[in-house]
Amino acid sequence: MAIFTGAGVAIVTPMHSDGSVNFDKLGELIEFQIANHTDSIIITGTTGEASTLTEDEHVECIRFAVDKVAKRLPVIAGTGSNCTKTAIYLTKEAQKAGADGALVVTPYYNKATQKGLIQHFSTIARSTDLPIVLYSVQSRTGVNILPETAAALNRECDNIVAVKEASGNISQVADILQMTQGDMDVYSGNDDQIVPILSLGGKGVISVLSNICPQETHDIVAKFMDGDVEGSRDLQLKALPLVHALFCEVNPIPVKTALNLMGMEVGPLRLPMTPMEEANRQRLAQAMRDFGITVK
């Protein structure tokens, strides 16, 4: 059984003006997501600026999200690291906190071989009972999880059950699904490829767009799953200009900017992320207005 089916939000980590985590605001964002039918909360991922959280902050954010959600929907904790030992620690802490799954990104900077990826992910998987979602995003980490590697991990480890596929390569997604014959769930890691991946048998999306459009992103998946492929496709195409604006600078710069433009007051980014360039900010604001979002 899938950890979730639908649109899971890769939720931002709101900050106070001094750069500390704003847990009160994080609670508000979680409630906003649940009220607007998000299907899962993915905490401390790339969009949550996990790479600049301390280990203590990282674990505290996971605990907070699990407690706030209170089993109303699944919580998946980002627990990846380029250090296998650190990833094991974070994954164990996520299990202790009561998370429903762990999202584990490919080791960044190290650029492990495919053999190294198998050893890395299988070692983490053996350390926990949590279902593991592999996260393949070569554009950020420098290494791709090949379909053969994903399939081998799925065969070797019962709790490696899914992959967040952000390679942008639809053929690779098709190969993963063919090689695993339904034993491995696939979530789109790109908001502009939700419908194409669903058409191949994907279970949904782990979404940046959901931060600002949770209902609409949920509906893209729900309509497809209910057989309204045309309605799903129309929503996907309508969202494309906004999706492109949300990625005109590196994530999560635009999405935190968008939330602030909506009056959500999620605060600043942590260095080395910097404020959005004004021209891009104006482009984003216009795309939001065109989509029907009120910009303050």
Q: Is residue 280 part of a domain?
A: no
CA–chain centroid gap for 176, Å, is 19
pLDDT in tens, 255-289: 999 999 999 999 999 999 999 999 999 999 999 99
Residues 6+ apart with CB under 8 A from 15: 21, 22, 266, 267, 268, 269, 270
Residues annotated as part of the active site: 135, 164
Q: Assess if residue 187 is contained within a domain.
A: yes
Q: Does residue 284 lie in a domain region?
A: no
Domain annotation covers residue 282: no
Please report whether residue 106 resides in a domain: yes
**What residue has token string 């459009």?**
213
Structurally, how many domains does the chain consist of?
Answer: 1
Asked if 38 and 8 count as a contact pair (C-beta separation under 8 A), the reply is yes
219's CB contacts (< 8 A; 6+ apart) are 232, 235
Q: How much is the pTM?
A: 0.97
Q: What is the pLDDT of residues 238-259, one digit of tens each?
A: 999 999 999 999 999 999 999 9
Classify residue 124: in a domain, yes or no.
yes
Give the residues of the chain that fall short of pLDDT 50.
none
282 CB neighbour count, 10 Å cutoff? 12
Domain membership of residue 75 (yes or no) is yes
pLDDT given for residue 1 in this prediction: 78
CATH, residue 208: 3.20.20.70
Sign of CA dihedral 87, 9, 133, 173: negative
Phi, psi at residue 48, to the nearest 5°? -85, 10
Q: Which residues contact 34 (CB under 8 A, 6 or more apart)?
A: 69, 72, 73
**SS3 assignment for the chain:** CCCCCEEEEECCCCECCCCCECHHHHHHHHHHHHHCCCCEEEECCCCCCHHHCCHHHHHHHHHHHHHHHCCCCCEEEECCCCCHHHHHHHHHHHHHHCCCEEEEECCCCCCCCHHHHHHHHHHHHHCCCCCEEEEECHHHHCCCCCHHHHHHHHHHCCCEEEEEECCCCHHHHHHHHHHHCCCCEEEECCHHHHHHHHHHCCCEEEECHHHCCHHHHHHHHHHHHCCCHHHHHHHHHHHHHHHHHHCCCCCCHHHHHHHHHCCCCCCCCCCCCCCCCHHHHHHHHHHHHHHCCCCC
Residue 276: name the closest of 251, 242, 293, 243 by CA: 251
Tally of CB atoms within 10 A around 289: 13
Return the pLDDT at 240: 98
Range of the domain at 187: 6-226
* Domain membership flag for residue 256: no
